[in-house]
Every structure is written in structure tokens, then in C-alpha cells.
Amino acid sequence: MARSTAKAPKSAVKSIVELVLTVAIAVGLALLIQAFIVKPYRIPSPSMVPTLDVGQRVLTNRLINHPSVGDIVVFHPPKGADPQTPICGNPNQGEGHGQACARSTPGESSQTFIKRVVGGPGDRISIENGHVRRNGVLEKDPYIAPCGQGDGCNMRTPITVPPGDYFMMGDNRGESDDSRFWGPVPDKWVIGVAFFTYWPPDRIGLL
């Protein structure tokens, strides 16, 4: 009996230490996964309606920074996206000029956006009634909301996406602040590709 009583406190301390180490390792792994592999993101605006609603939550794959056309990506836009009226790197392009913005302003914004890739490096892009014409072919886009009559709905003079850049647009074409107005996004500003939505429960699924 004496031996059993002596060992009990040591066994309890050992269990506590193991529990603390297990929790610490689990927390550390979770932080590493979020920092380098998978990161959750909350949809802040209606720019991706009807695909993604305000408040919906998605997971992004941070290992991909060279997305494909059609991918939904989380990224930092250029600083030209920061003002209330976006700024294009070429003052003769963008809203009111009948041509999308082909060159972004220098510098990376601290904002985080989520949009769909509609054009990659070297693609020729124009906009017709909110639909993208890429390399002469009108996109198949059953996922978008109608554009309406704003300047961004018709930019029929083609522009070419620079090497290493991606042209981003929201699915809610008439209510999206995107590459049409502040230009393409360099691949180094891409945070990751959204692949799964986990909230609300009735919209759980792959993107």
C-alpha cells in the first residue's frame, strides 16, 4: 500500500505534463496550418453574390499562389484599390474610359479581397455587358449576377494581362470593386485559393 501511495502524486503530475504538452503541440500545429497551409476567411461584402454571401466563411489553400482561370482567390489588391474612387496605374484606362485597367498602381494594399480569376498572364480581356471575353471567347458564366448599366459593365477595348499577373472580378458584376478599376494582381499578392465553404451549415461544400 505504501508503494502505491508514493507513486500516485508522480503519476498525476506526469498526466498533467502530458496534457499540457499535447495541448501546446495541437495549438502549435493549428497555428502552423493556418499560417502556411489552410486559412479561414469571412466574406465581407456582396461582391461575390450569388456564389458567396456576406458573412459566409471559406477555407483557402495557401500553398497555391499561381491560380487558374475560374478559381476563387483571396489576395491583397494594389494600393489603387484603397481610395473610395479606385485608381488605375494607367490614367487613360478603367472606369469611364471604355477599357479595363491593364496596369495597377505600385505597392500592395493591406486590404484582403476575394474574387474570381477571369484572366491569367498574357490573356486579352474585354468586358461585354458584364461578361468577360478572354482571347476572343466569351466566358461561360452561369454563376454571375447581371451587371446592369454601369461603366464597368462594358469595356470593349481589349487589354492584355501582364506577365505574372491575374485579372480578378467579383461574380456580382455590377457591385464589385475589382481589376476592371484598379488593375491586375501580381501572383506574389495571392494569399490562396478558396476551396471549401463551411458556414452557414446549409451551404457547406466544395467551391
Of 203, 195, 122, nearest in space to 163 by CA: 122
pLDDT at residue 27, as a whole number: 47
Residue 23 has pLDDT above 90, yes or no: no
pLDDT in tens, 178-195: 999 999 999 999 999 999
Of 98, 89, 61, nearest in space to 186 by CA: 89
> Is residue 75 packed enough to be buried (19+ CB in 10 Å), middle (13-18) or exposed (0-12)?
buried
Please, what is the average pLDDT of the chain? 89
d(CA 177, CA 84): 10
- Among 4, 7, 45, 47, the active-site one is 47
Q: Give domain limits for the chain.
A: 1-36, 40-206
Amino acid 116 reads R
Other CB atoms within 10 A of residue 191 CB? 19
End-to-end CA distance of the chain: 62
Alpha helices in the chain (DSSP H): 2-36, 179-182
Of 164, 161, 155, 159, nearest in space to 186 by CA: 164
Q: What is the DSSP letter of 93?
A: S
40-206 fold? Umud Fragment, subunit A (2.10.109)
pLDDT in tens, 95-107: 889 999 999 999 9
Contacts of 39 (CB under 8 A, 6+ apart): 59, 60, 62, 74, 191, 192
- Is 47 one of the catalytic residues? yes
Contacts of 9 (CB under 8 A, 6+ apart): none
Q: Enter the pTM of the model.
A: 0.84
Q: What 3-state DSSP class applies to 26?
A: helix
DSSP 137-202: EE---TTPBP--SSGGG-EEEEEEPPTTEEEEE-SBTTS---HHHH--EEGGGEEEEEEEEEESGG
Question: What is the pLDDT confidence band of residue 13, given thresholds at 50, 70 and 90?
Answer: confident
Residue 174 has pLDDT above 80, yes or no: yes
As a whole number, mean pLDDT of residues 30-49 equals 78
- Among 7, 11, 104, 115, the active-site one is 115
